[in-house]
Amino acid sequence: MDSLAIDRDAWTAAGEAGLHEAIELRRAIHREPELGLHLPLTTQKVLKALEGLPLEIRQGPSTTGVLAILRGSPNGRTVLLRGDMDALPLTEDTGLEFSSGITGAMHACGHDTHVAMLAGAAKALCARRDTLPGTVMFMFQPGEEGWHGARHMLDDGLIDPLPDAAFALHISPNMPTGTFASRTGALLASSDSIRIRVVGAGGHASMPQDAIDPLPVACEIVTALQSFVTRRVSVFDPAVITIAHIEAGTTYNIIPEDARMRGTVRTLSERTRAIAHEGIRKVAEHVAAAHGCRAEVEIERGFPVTVNHAAAVNLAERTAKALYGDSAWHTMDNPMMGAEDFSYVLQKATGAMAFLGAAPVGVGGDYRACCALHSNRMTLDEQVMARGIAMHCAFAEAVLAGEMEI
């Protein structure tokens, strides 16, 4: 194992020492989940957790996000650590004693744990302020679930100057508990939303020849898009197109005037992203025209591809192994087609995102069978937050100690 300039014992101990407070904070946030860019209750909890620490607090006009800055040596590097704060629009069905008290909102993606781990790391690093050869930024970010919160915080100028390195952890119930995992290059996909309206001409269900039925045309577009992906997009630089919602008509015996579809397109490169956007428009418009219909296509650009930098991934691997042994790290063979707005930060600064396995207790070792992220039944092993706190601290120390090439 490579030697690494980190205080292993101090950070593992800090993680364990901060676990109780992290669990309390996580559960408090979990009970009152909030959606979008403005999370007053969650932000208040974050500020309360940071109260009394030697931190400079910044907030911008676009969100209720918080950037807390710990200044050590003014001549050193700057490292950013990020935790996202927002919840998802679904109703919880876990049966936990601290279940969401807000109907239609739930922390089903682990963001409550991300906040708690980051707050724990802030407290631990503040206790070592006098020994830090640089600056640490703690980015508590709202609006990750499709709201571009990271981009808004960047545009608001909160992260100025940009850090020399950036790091984020994302919890996962479908990984071995306590294991960190990541990869160099594309880690997560871009994600864009698709809206297609197929316009025909309504009429009586008994006389389709006197109408232009948009429903079979919409169905044909769905299947044609899948053919487009398999024949025009390289399997080595893939795209995933999913039409997940189709809506048309008012009753069973009326041919509607139009049919509306919604879905997503996900890619692992900007090249394939452009090919997919062009292809979706052509397929929808031309299939519709072949049947005497018209297709109106809207593609809303979402998060870009999350691209990890090799130097940051290498440091994360060395850090995880230094803290918890070689078995604590797993290099992922392939990217995942989910999306993350930490991608905006990684476009600006050298850095990486890693996953932290948190399969809940009692699954018999079969972490693959656990309810996944975004499930209304998703639960986690809170004990792994101790490792998350330690990893944040040790990664920051290593960057500031010059262990990563910038």
> Do 183 and 259 fall into the same domain?
no
| Cβ within 8 Å of residue 391, ≥6 positions away | 169, 180, 316, 319, 320, 323, 354, 356
> Do 92 and 210 fall into the same domain?
no
Whichever domain contains 19, its CATH number is 3.40.630.10
| Residue whose pair of structure tokens reads 């909030």 in the numeric block | 34
- pLDDT of 312 strictly over 90: yes
Residue 223, in any domain of the structure = yes
> Do 202 and 59 fall into the same domain?
no
Q: What is the mean pLDDT of the chain?
A: 94
If pLDDT is split at 50, 70 and 90, which confidence band does 363 have?
low
Q: Bigger pLDDT: 67 or 146?
A: 67
- pLDDT of 362 strictly over 80: no
> Do 60 and 179 fall into the same domain?
yes
Residue 83, in any domain of the structure = yes
Structure tokens at 17: 């020492």
The number of domains in the chain is 2
> Pick from 138, 94, 143, 134: which is nearest to 116 by CA?
138
Interior CA angle at 256 toward 251 and 261, to 5°?
A: 100
Structure tokens at 120: 């724990």
The pLDDT of 62-69, averaged and rounded, is 97
Residue 406, in any domain of the structure = no
E strand or H helix at 49, and its extent? helix 40-50
If pLDDT is split at 50, 70 and 90, which confidence band does 308 have?
very high
> Do 42 and 138 fall into the same domain?
yes
- pLDDT of 1 strictly over 50: no
Residue 3, in any domain of the structure = no
Structure tokens at 311: 């130097």
Residue 326 structural domain: 8-187+305-400
pLDDT at 160: 92
Q: What percent of the chain has pLDDT over 90?
A: 88
| Cβ within 8 Å of residue 100, ≥6 positions away | 30, 31, 32, 33, 87, 91, 92, 106, 107
Q: How far apart (Å, rounded) are the C-alpha atoms in residues 249 and 264? A: 23
Least confident piece of the model among 74-78, 333-337, 343-347, 371-375: 371-375
Whichever domain contains 213, its CATH number is 3.30.70.360
pLDDT at 73: 83
> Do 269 and 317 fall into the same domain?
no
Q: How far apart (Å, rounded) are the C-alpha atoms in residues 233 and 329? A: 32
Q: Bigger pLDDT: 17 or 95?
A: 17
> Do 235 and 316 fall into the same domain?
no
User: Which of 303, 338, 356 delimits the end of a domain?
Assistant: 303
